[in-house]
Chains A and B, each alone.
Chain A
Amino acid sequence: MKAGVIAVQGDVSEHADAVRRAAASHGVDVAVVEVRDAGVVPGCDVLLMPGGESTTISRLLREEGIDEEIRNHVAADKPLLATCAGLIVASRDAKDDRVSTLDVLDVSVDRNAFGRQADSFEAPLDVTGLDEPFPGVFIRSPVIDEVGEGVEVLAQWDGDPVAVKQGSVIATSFHPELTPDSRIHDLTFFGQEHASTQDGEGVEA
Chain B
Amino acid sequence: MTEETDLEELKRGTDLVKRGFARMQKGGVIMDVVSREQARIAEDAGAVAVMHLESVPADIRKRGGVARMADPGKLETVIDEVSIPAMGKCRIGHTAEAQILEAAGADMLDESEVLTTADERYHIDKREFTAPFVCGARNLGEALRRIDEGAAMIRTKGEAGTGDVNQAVTHQRSIQRSIRKLSGMNYEERDEWAREHEAPRELVHETADMGRLPVVNFAAGGIATPADAALMMQHGCDGIFVGSGIFGAEDPSKMGEAIVQAVNNYDDPETLTEIAKGIGAGMKGQANETMPEEEKLQGRGV
Chain A interface: which of B12-20, B159-167, B223-231, B287-295?
Answer: B12-20
Q: Judge whether B132 is part of the interface by a CB distance below 8 angstroms.
A: yes
- A55 lies within 8 A of B43 (CB): yes
Chain A interface: which of B59-67, B184-192, B211-219, B246-254?
Answer: B211-219
A157 to B212, CA, bound (A): 35
Q: Judge whether A44 is part of the interface by a CB distance below 8 angstroms.
A: no
Q: Interface of B with A (CB < 8 Å)? A: 1-3, 6-7, 9-17, 19-21, 23-28, 43-44, 46-49, 79, 83-85, 102, 105, 107-108, 130-132, 206, 210, 212-216, 238, 260-261, 263-265, 268
Q: Judge whether A205 is part of the interface by a CB distance below 8 angstroms.
A: yes
In the complex, which residues of chain B have a beta carbon less than 8 angstroms from the beta carbon of A96? 83
- B24 lies within 8 A of A53 (CB): yes
- B132 lies within 8 A of A117 (CB): yes
- B105 lies within 8 A of A116 (CB): yes
Cβ proximity bits A46-59 to B, threshold 8 Å, 1 near / 0 not: 00000111011001
- B14 lies within 8 A of A10 (CB): no
If A111-B83, A140-B107 touch, whether A123 touches B27 (CB-CB below 8 Å) is: no
If A9-B28, A117-B85 touch, whether A201 touches B16 (CB-CB below 8 Å) is: yes
10 contacts between A and B (CB under 8 A): A10-B26, A52-B24, A53-B25, A60-B264, A116-B79, A117-B21, A119-B12, A121-B17, A157-B6, A205-B216
Closest chain-A Cβ to B278's Cβ sits at a distance in Å of 16
A76 to B115, CA, bound (A): 54
CB within 8 A of B46: which of A60, A122, A179? Answer: A60
A111 to B81, CA, bound (A): 14
- B46 lies within 8 A of A120 (CB): no
- B107 lies within 8 A of A117 (CB): yes
Q: Which of A7-36 contact B (CB under 8 A)?
A: 7-14, 36
CB within 8 A of A205: which of B10, B84, B238? Answer: B238
In the complex, which residues of chain B have a beta carbon less than 8 angstroms from the beta carbon of A158? 3, 7
- A52 lies within 8 A of B27 (CB): yes
Closest chain-A Cβ to B241's Cβ sits at a distance in Å of 15
Q: Which of A77-119 contact B (CB under 8 A)?
A: 84-85, 96, 98, 111-112, 116-119
Closest chain-A Cβ to B84's Cβ sits at a distance in Å of 5
Closest chain-B Cβ to A205's Cβ sits at a distance in Å of 6
- A202 lies within 8 A of B20 (CB): yes
- A178 lies within 8 A of B15 (CB): no
- B43 lies within 8 A of A140 (CB): no
If A55-B84, A204-B214 touch, whether A63 touches B261 (CB-CB below 8 Å) is: yes
Considering only CB atoms, which chain B residue lies closest to A128 in the complex?
Answer: B1
Considering only CB atoms, which chain A residue lies closest to B6 in the complex?
Answer: A123
- A178 lies within 8 A of B16 (CB): yes
- B6 lies within 8 A of A125 (CB): yes
In the complex, which residues of chain B have a beta carbon less than 8 angstroms from the beta carbon of A73? none
A50 to B232, CA, bound (A): 23
Considering only CB atoms, which chain A residue lies closest to B108 in the complex?
Answer: A117
Q: Judge whether A175 is part of the interface by a CB distance below 8 angstroms.
A: yes
- B48 lies within 8 A of A139 (CB): no
In the complex, which residues of chain A have a beta carbon less than 8 angstroms from the beta carbon of B7? 123, 158
If A36-B265, A117-B108 touch, whether A139 touches B20 (CB-CB below 8 Å) is: yes
Considering only CB atoms, which chain B residue lies closest to A14 in the complex?
Answer: B23
In the complex, which residues of chain A have a beta carbon less than 8 angstroms from the beta carbon of B3? 158-159
CB within 8 A of B27: which of A12, A64, A175, A202? Answer: A12
